Structures are given as structure tokens and as C-alpha cells.
Structure 1
Amino acid sequence: MAEKRPYLTAHNDVLTGGIVLAATILFVSTGGSAISDVIKSLAGMGAGVEQLLTTALLLNVALILFGYRRYRDLKIEVRHRAAAEERAQQLAGTDPLTGFYNRRKFEEEGAALIARMQIKGKAVALMMLDLDHFKTVNDIHGHAAGDTMLKAVAERITAHVPPETISARLGGDEFACACAFEPGEPGEMESVADALVNAIKEPVTHQNGELSVSTSLGIARSDRDGDTMDTLLRRADIAMYAAKNAGRNRHFWFSGTMEDELFRRNAVEAGMRQGIAAGEFVPYYEQQVDLNTGKLLGFEMLARWESPALGLVAPDDFIPIAEETGMIGSLSFAVMRRAFTDARDWDPSLTLSVNISPSQLRDPWLSQKLLKLLTETGFPPSRLEIEITETSLYDNLGLAQTIIASLKNQGIRVALDDFGTGYSSLAHLRALPFDRIKIDRSFVTSMMGNAESAAIVQAITRLGDSLGLPVTAEGIESKDIEQRLLSLGLAKGQGWHFGKPMTVEAARSLLAAHKMLAAEEEALPLPDEADTAKTAAPGR
């Protein structure tokens, strides 16, 4: 049924009111004498009433009754409309799943709370909570399980915050709370934050199983004139991400250093976007040698950023940002294209090792993109070794198996990097056809002074022998470590003991001294770097 237009409803109400008013005036002017005559006629004491006057009287009565009924209906309708509007306003400001405020209403109520507390000389703490690994709950158990978890989190928040707290679900798995406290007693909010972190990590019963998440919590305080909800939300968000980056399942108070770090990170990100386009990211090369003979066997490609503003930047400072922002693909392609072009006229016996990032291993077209890049640069697939870290296999082992099989079909070798740092290395070695194991550098560099590290290196070496897999040791930084590895039977290694990662110019000079460069006239022409595709990670 079509909704009545407001101006028609108003027109009908005015018309009804006019009719009732006219009927009332007519009744007052004629009704008195007419009723008297009617009564006398009915009693047989009068001459009767004119027909027209009787009709007018009855019409007056009917109109007055109609008006009263309409008035009563209008009162009911107004009451229903008021209730509906109140309900609509409530729904407009409330999250339907948890009953908490939504973001808009939370900002309104929070601003009012800050204003009231500033007058009273109290502070306001705004806590921002983001559930850790909540996506896993939805992906594995379904969205109904996710809803169950969100409701349980809302109940636990309500149970552990002060009574006058304003709580909200800002969206997805993000919650916020605002409450007043005495400026000199922040320990009260510390206790609340600890209680929330501990309560939320407790399992939630769902159907026949249990669901578990944790939370990263950031706190910002307002006890100065000029602090606004926008300011508190931004600061609490910064603190929350600091807690998440520190390992999750904890809380942090906002501090100015966090904001400075955020500004620095944003500056680095902006510089990276410009730097990729400007060709500032370049490959460096670390030697891989035969430990028995000292012969050069190849290089591992390591990305470096030659920033005009920051100088030479190591990958530990920009690779995480590239992963988070989605720049890893374009950055990787730019560095790999240059590395393949550099290495194509080296001695055919030399291999080139390149790292693949976890996000790229989720790309089902990775092997095709790599083959396209090899074809464009003229670098032989048989000289390429792709290194995959074990942690990158956790997300989708089935897809990783497909990609690795495709790479090997193209003649590319695949190594399991940072071996020994994961929790299911043996299972991965059985499930995936690796060509080599690389021992994580943390074990190698500490093996001379740490018996446990030495035992791990020895165990991995024996495992490689039993599986028929060659083993490479990373992080060889002294002659003593080299000799110790030789005594264990390791044949290949790399590290600063053989030289630090070098530029392409230094690598060419080294190769020229060893007569391991192809003749200049045999070198292939430089490929068009504008022809891009997303491929492998730039290394560490």
C-alpha cells in the first residue's frame, strides 16, 4: 500500500477540523431551540419541529460525533508516530547485533561526556579494541560463529567496565569504550584494560566447540581543554595498532612517540611510492660459496633502497610496509627485473636466489608471472632458485603445493628458507618437493656460544642428508663458524665472512677477476622496464 503523502494528510486533517468547527457553531446557534421543540413534540405538548430543522440538528450531531472520533484517532496516530520515531532514532544510533552504540552515536555521546567531565575536572579514557584473528573465526566456523563471538565480546565488555561507560561497536570486530576517571588515578583504567584483555581471550562456546580470539587495546586520555572525540579516537587507534604490532593480546596507552613513529612511517610509505617509480630500489648480491673449495656458486639477491632523503635503507625497514600497503608486488618486480638483467651474462654455473613473500605465495598466477619475467629478461629458469619461508605456507598449503609444482615444471628450483623457526617443518618437507633447505641465520651465528643452536644446526644437517636435500647455512660471520660447519659436512654457505652484500658494479668486478663474465657482445639488450607484472619478493 502506498504511503500517504504528508501534505495530503495535513490537508485532510485541516478539512476535518473545519467541518467539526462549523458543525459546532451551527449546533450552538440552532440546537438550543430545536432540541426544546423536539422534546415538547415528543411529549405531545408542542406543535412539532420543522423537517429541515430536524435534519440540520441530526447532521450537527453526526458531524460532532465524527469529529470526536477523528480527534481520538489522531491522538492514537500521533502517539504511534512518536513511538515509531523514537524507535527509529534508537535504531539509527545502535548496532543491531550487540546493542552498543554505532560510531555516529558514540561520537555524539562521547563529545557530550568530554564536555561534562571538563567542567567537573575529570579525565575521559577512550579505549579502542580490535579483535585479533577474528577473520579466522569467520573463515573456519562461519559468520554465525562470528556473530556469537561478537555478542560474547560485547557482554564481557559490559561486565568489566564502569557502570556509566559509553560503549560502541565501531564496525566489524572493532569496539570502543569511553568512561570518566580521576586524572591522577590512571591505574583504575589500567585495571579495566587488563580485565578486558583477560576476559576476551577466554573461549566462547559455540555449538559443540569453542571459539577463541584475543584483543589489542589502545587507550587515550582527555583531561585538557581542546581535546575532542576525533583526537581521542585517532590517538586510541594509534595505541591499539602499537599493541597489535607488539604481539597482540595486550594494551598500550597512547604516547607522543607513537604519533612520531606514525608520521615517520607515513613519510617512508610516501617515499617508497615515489621511489619505486623512480627506480630507487636496487638489487644487492650476497655471495654463496662452496665451503670445501671456496668456489663461488652463486648469489642471493637482497633488495636495498637508495633513497635521496634517507640514504641506503635496509629491507627490514621497508619490506613490512610494502607488505601492509600492497606495494610488495610492484617493488619486487622492479628489483627482480634489474637482477635478472644483471645476472644473465654471468657464468652459466652461477645461480641466483630470490625470496618470495607470503602475500605473493597466495597468488595463483605467481609461476606464470615469473616465467613471463624470465622470458622478457632472457634469464634461464635453471639458474633461478626461489626461497620460500615456512611461515608463508600456513595460509594455504594446497595453493603453495600447486605453485611450487608449477615452478619446478619450468625448471626453477625451490628452497625452504629460515628452516627451524617454524612449528611444522617436517610436515612441509614431506608435503612439498623442495630442492634445498636453508638453515636460519639465527642458529648459525650463535652456534659457537650456544649448545642448543649448535645441536639444531647439526640435526638439520643430518635431516638434509637423510632426505637427500642439500643444505645451505646462512649467517656465516667467522672462520670458526665456517670450520664448524665443514666438520658437520655442510657444503654450501653464505654470510659476511665471505663479504657483505654488494652492488652490481662490485659483483661484476668480482666476477671479472674470476673470469666468470660472458663476453660483452653476447650480452642481451636491456628489456623495457615499463613492461610490468607482480612477481616475487625482494628478499631480506
Structure 2
Amino acid sequence: MGDKTERPARLEKAQRDVVMLGIATAAIIMFVGIGGTVMPQVARSFLDANVAPPDTALVNALLLNIALIIFGWRRYVDLNREIAQRRAAEEAARHLSQTDPLTGCYNRRCAVERLMEALVSTDEGHCSVGFVMIDLDGFKAINDSYGHQAGDELLLGIAERLREVAPETASVARLGGDEFAIVLPIDTEDMAPVEEWANRMVAHVAQPIDTETGPIEVTISAGIAFQETDPELDNTEGAARKLMHRADLAMYQAKKEGRNRYCWFVKAMEDEARIRREMEVAIRGGLDRGEFSPHYEQQIDLETGQLVGFEMLARWESAELGTVSPEIFIPVAESCGLIGPLSEMLIRRALSDAQSWDPSLSLSVNISPIQLRDPWFPQKLLKMLMASQFPAHRLDVEISESCLQENLVAVQAMIVSLKNLGVRVSLDDFGTGFSSLTQLRSLPFDRVKIDRSFVGELRKVAEAAHGSDAEREQQDHIVSTLVSLGQNLHIPVTAEGVEDESILATLRQMGEMKGQGYLYGRPEDAAAVLKRLGELNMLAENTQPAVVPPANEPEQRKSA
């Protein structure tokens, strides 16, 4: 609509300018013609009183010509001024369309254009074009902790440092949010200078940046990809998009490897991304077809050998892929936003299965860090408890220790909300997330679970023929310290990874605790659990506790 109304206005204005040019030209011609006749008569009548003055009509015509010339000149000056202003406005608009308003770097659109220009102008041979994708580590947490003003100052500081360290022929861009990019030339025959530059860039950015709230430290993860011959790409824009995608994959690999580093793109990253996309499609289909099911691992009182509960674990029998390990599909479900629906479906089924268990048995469920960020999760859990009529005090929600490092205030609020429902909350993977004593004291956990990586070392050292007494004592000391920490804070302890009698005997010497592991059998589906509980007289209609014998035979454990 704006273009349609603007176009006639511009056309009309151009027509007026042409008319005014014609009028001014005609006025000048008439001025020359009339002035040549009138001006001598005026001069003679001025010098000689006897000479008659020129004709009044000619004088008026001359004055009119002069007025038209003056008007035309002013219009010409105004037109030049307007053209200059229009050019300045167009230049400003072009600048705004190419740069990020906060940092002054190129924006995403211009970054693609610069990359395409570099690809076109690259000489054949060993000279190539590199694209560096850069993402700030933990920027959201900084925004939440210090505010958006400090976040903007941080982005300005990062942009300035990237410009400082970038080569003169490179282009620095901010793609949006906390993502930056650099287009730079690369000599493929000598990659050492690029690697030195990348190390220098990572170290330079990691230095504290001064803001109004004080110095803030932030690190970056970077991915680097350079132009390669690809017969599938027949246009420059496609090559640029492909290069950006590959640098993005390398950047995410740098994050997975620990952040504060850079990674080169390798072909395997594309294969992994393709597999992840296929896995995401398979997970969506598996959810629709009901291929996911809960399995249950026994939890035992180590001192009495009594069965006290089960931990629910996710299992997937895919019609296309067969049995898929949780270590594979859970990270994919988290990254594609499916972990919430998947977990809630499994929890609903587990609550339904546990209704037939003895009332003394508890049910433990793990929740993802993604769910922990969902403020509506307690309400969702309450709805599931009410729908299944499952007593809240029998449900134990397990939170990974690594979650405490993300946002302690949000985690504390979530734990309080969950406990207000009447459920118990446990700290899972205790000892792996570097939680402090202050955090454990400030968070109202009902139980801590020692990670199986520590418990499993007890058996490894005991079985090693060369294992010294000092090594055994060191491993015992790690586990006993974690147990003592829980006991001193009056928090019950559960040990994961109880896989043989030697581990069980060592743990029993450390005090009262619960345990779970393959010593008592592998995780079972709902039907196998019902059969086991029926043999132990621990179904809902029975109330007699039973002692669970360890499943010592390797063949029995393997078949389980």
C-alpha cells in the first residue's frame, strides 16, 4: 500500500521538476532576448532625460523573467539539498540493514552476503574461506543474575575483543542473541596460524569484562569450517549456507567437549547430526505408537535385605531400531524438546503400575534438567497424582546434582514446590556435580544417592591383583566420606551400582543406607515386577515385608 501511494507522488514531483526546468530555461532565453532590448533603453533614458523610457510591458516582462530565474535557481538549490539528504538517508538505511544496532558488527544478513562475496572472490589453489561460529557459554545465566543491562555491556565487550583479535581482512558479525561469527581467509596448506589465532581468540575473550555491576567472566565455544569442493552445491548461496551449518555443528561439538574451546568441523559431525534427526523422528513415532515403557530397579535396605521400593527407568523397544539405550535416546529427546512428554507419559504409567504394589514400597522417578526449568511441572505432577490416586508420600522425585550449578534459586523454588505436594525429593548422582556443603544445607533434600561410578570402584580395586591397600583405602574413603556427609546432615543415603557381595559388605560397614544394582537383579517390566511381588507377598492386598535374596548367579542376572 505504501509503495502504491509513494510511486505517484514521486512521479508527480519528477514531472513538476521537469516543468520547472522548462520554465527556467524559457525564462533565461526570454531574459536574454528582452534584456538585450530593454537594458540599453533603460541606460539611455537614465543618462539622457530627453530619451523616452522603455515600454512598460517589456520592463514587466523582464522583471518577470528575473523572478522566474531566481525561483528556478532556488528550486535547483533545494533539489540538490533534497538529493543529498535522500542519499544520506539511503546510506543510513543501508548501514542499518547491514549492521547490528547494539554492537556495530555486521548482522546475519550481511554476514551471509560477506561470506558469499568471499567465496566468489577466492582464488583457486590453497587459499580458502573460513567461517567461525561463536557462542557465549552460559550467557542466559549471566542475564538472569546480573540483568540485561550487564548482558548488553558484555556483548559490547565481546564484540570489541573479537574485532581486536580478528585479522584485518576478516569480517565480524553478530548473528543474534549471544551468537557471533567471523568470515576470514584460510591458507589450507598451513593451518597452524589459524589454530594459533583461534587459541588466542578464545583466551582473549575469556578475560574479565568490566560492567557497571563489576567484572564479569564469560567464555566462548567456537566452531571453524572452511570451504571445500562440494559437487552437490551449484550456487554460491548454497555453499555459504552449508559452510555456516558446518561451523555451527563444530561449535556445538566444542560445547559438548567442555566449552571454552574451539573445534574444527569434520565430516562425522554431519553424520551424527543426520542420525540425531533420524532419531528425533523415530522418537516422535515411538511416542505415538507407545513403544516406550517403564522398567523398575529394586531398592533394598542393605542392612536387612528388605525390598523398600523401585526406581523407574525408561526403556525403548523401537519397531525400526530395536532396543535403544537410554544413554542414546534421552539426550536426543532433551535436545529436541520431547523429554517432557516422554517423561510425563512414563510417570503416568509408573504411577498406575505402582497402585498394585504393597503400600510400604516407594516409587522413584528421575526428572530431566529441562523439566526442572518448567515452572508448571509441579502442577503437572499434582494432576498425575490425583488422576492415579497414588499417595504423594510414596513418590520420590530425583534431581541430578549437575542441575544445582545452573540456577540455584530456581532449583530451590522447584524443590519447595514439589515438597509442598507431599512428594519426597532426592539428590541424584551425588558426588559428581561438585555441590557445596552450603547448597546441601540450604536445599531440603530427603535423600542423596551416591553415583555408581564411585560405588563401582570398590569392586574394581578389590578385584585388581595389583591393587594396593592404599588404593583400596582411597576408594573406601571417597564413598565413606559421601556417606558420612549425608549422615552428618541427617539425610538418608542410597548407593547405586551394588553389583556383587564385596561391594555390599563394604557398604554395610559404612552404616545404614539403601542400595540398588545388578546384585539384586536387572530392571524389570511391570509384569515381571508383579510376579516378583506376588512371590514375596508384597502386592497391595498383602502387608507382610519380605527379605530379597541377592541374585548372585551370573546367568540369572544376565537373563534378568
TM over 0.5: yes
- Structure 1 distance, partners of 2:358, 2:258, is 45
Counterpart among 518, 525, 540 of residue 496 in structure 1: 518
SS across alignment from 2:105:
coil
Q: How many residue pairs are counted as aligned between the two chains?
A: 519
2:446 is the alignment partner of 1:441: no
Q: CA deviation at 1:413?
A: 2.5
Q: CA deviation at 1:125?
A: 0.8
Partner of 2:556: none
**Counterpart contact for 1:183–1:223, Cα < 8 Å:** no
2:460 is the alignment partner of 1:471: no
2:31 is the alignment partner of 1:9: no
Counterpart among 120, 126, 150 of residue 131 in structure 2: 126
Q: CA deviation at 1:208?
A: 5.9
Q: CA deviation at 1:424?
A: 3.1
Change over 3 Å in CA distance of 1:79–1:370 after alignment to 2: closer
Counterpart among 307, 313, 322 of residue 296 in structure 1: 307
Counterpart among 486, 493, 506 of residue 508 in structure 2: 486
- Structure 2 distance, partners of 1:429, 1:38, is 108
Change over 3 Å in CA distance of 1:106–1:467 after alignment to 2: closer
State the identity as a percent.
Answer: 48
2:47 is the alignment partner of 1:36: no
Counterpart among 58, 69, 78 of residue 74 in structure 2: 69
Unaligned stretches of 5+ in structure 1?
521-540
Q: CA deviation at 1:411?
A: 3.9
Residue-by-residue CA offset, 1:16-59 (whole Å, 9 max, x unaligned) = 21221221232233332222222222221633211111111121
2:437 is the alignment partner of 1:426: yes
Q: CA deviation at 1:163?
A: 0.8
2:479 is the alignment partner of 1:457: yes
Q: CA deviation at 1:312?
A: 1.7
Following TM superposition, where does structure 1 have runs of at least 4 consecutive aligned residues deviating by more than 6 angstroms? Answer: none
Partner of 2:94: 89
Change over 3 Å in CA distance of 1:138–1:316 after alignment to 2: same
Q: CA deviation at 1:425?
A: 4.4
Q: CA deviation at 1:290?
A: 2.5
Change over 3 Å in CA distance of 1:134–1:513 after alignment to 2: same
**Counterpart contact for 2:358–2:541, Cα < 8 Å:** no
Unaligned stretches of 5+ in structure 2?
462-470, 543-560
SS across alignment from 2:122:
helix
Q: CA deviation at 1:427?
A: 2.2
1:286-325, aligned counterparts within 5 Å? 286-325=297-336
SS across alignment from 1:284:
strand
Counterpart among 324, 348, 352 of residue 337 in structure 1: 348
- Structure 2 distance, partners of 1:278, 1:55, is 97
1:90-109, aligned counterparts within 5 Å? 90-109=95-114
- Structure 2 distance, partners of 1:469, 1:358, is 22
What one-letter code is carried by the residue in structure 2 that aligns with 1:22? Answer: A
**Counterpart contact for 2:106–2:172, Cα < 8 Å:** yes
- Structure 1 distance, partners of 2:152, 2:279, is 38
Moved more, 375-384 or 470-479: 375-384
Residue-by-residue CA offset, 1:482-510 (whole Å, 9 max, x unaligned) = 11111222342110111111222222222
Change over 3 Å in CA distance of 1:141–1:501 after alignment to 2: same
TM-score by length of 1: 0.90
2:542 is the alignment partner of 1:515: no
2:367 is the alignment partner of 1:356: yes
2:179 is the alignment partner of 1:174: yes
Residue-by-residue CA offset, 1:493-537 (whole Å, 9 max, x unaligned) = 1101111112222222222222323469xxxxxxxxxxxxxxxxx
1:151-166, aligned counterparts within 5 Å? 151-166=156-171
What one-letter code is carried by the residue in structure 1 that aligns with 2:184? Answer: C
Residue-by-residue CA offset, 1:282-337 (whole Å, 9 max, x unaligned) = 10111112223333222111011111122122222122222232222211111111
Moved more, 40-49 or 122-131: 40-49
SS across alignment from 1:260:
helix
2:178 is the alignment partner of 1:140: no
Q: CA deviation at 1:473?
A: 0.8
**Counterpart contact for 1:288–1:493, Cα < 8 Å:** yes
Moved more, 274-283 or 233-242: 274-283
What one-letter code is carried by the residue in structure 1 that aligns with 2:497? Answer: G
Partner of 1:280: 291
2:230 is the alignment partner of 1:211: no
**Counterpart contact for 2:294–2:525, Cα < 8 Å:** yes
- Structure 1 distance, partners of 2:203, 2:411, is 36
Partner of 2:545: none
**Counterpart contact for 1:461–1:490, Cα < 8 Å:** no
Counterpart among 102, 118, 126 of residue 113 in structure 1: 118
SS across alignment from 2:81:
helix
SS across alignment from 2:455:
helix
- Structure 2 distance, partners of 1:17, 1:116, is 45
Change over 3 Å in CA distance of 1:204–1:491 after alignment to 2: closer
What one-letter code is carried by the residue in structure 1 that aligns with 2:535? Answer: A
Residue-by-residue CA offset, 1:155-194 (whole Å, 9 max, x unaligned) = 2212222211122111111111111132211222212211
- Structure 1 distance, partners of 2:53, 2:513, is 132
Q: CA deviation at 1:397?
A: 4.1
Partner of 1:327: 338
Change over 3 Å in CA distance of 1:321–1:41 after alignment to 2: same
Q: CA deviation at 1:115?
A: 0.9
Partner of 2:466: none
Change over 3 Å in CA distance of 1:471–1:230 after alignment to 2: same
What one-letter code is carried by the residue in structure 2 that aligns with 1:33? Answer: T
Partner of 2:398: 387
**Counterpart contact for 1:284–1:501, Cα < 8 Å:** yes
What one-letter code is carried by the residue in structure 1 that aligns with 2:331? Answer: P
**Counterpart contact for 1:291–1:491, Cα < 8 Å:** yes
**Counterpart contact for 1:279–1:334, Cα < 8 Å:** no
SS across alignment from 1:359:
helix
Q: CA deviation at 1:436?
A: 2.2
2:274 is the alignment partner of 1:263: yes
Change over 3 Å in CA distance of 1:100–1:429 after alignment to 2: closer
Change over 3 Å in CA distance of 1:474–1:91 after alignment to 2: same
- Structure 1 distance, partners of 2:188, 2:423, is 63
SS across alignment from 1:516:
coil
- Structure 2 distance, partners of 1:101, 1:115, is 19
SS across alignment from 1:164:
coil
- Structure 2 distance, partners of 1:139, 1:402, is 15
Q: CA deviation at 1:394?
A: 4.1
- Structure 1 distance, partners of 2:94, 2:376, is 49
Q: Which has the higher contact order (CA 8 A, sep 6+)?
A: 1
2:379 is the alignment partner of 1:368: yes
Change over 3 Å in CA distance of 1:339–1:89 after alignment to 2: same
SS across alignment from 2:102:
coil
- Structure 2 distance, partners of 1:477, 1:339, is 25
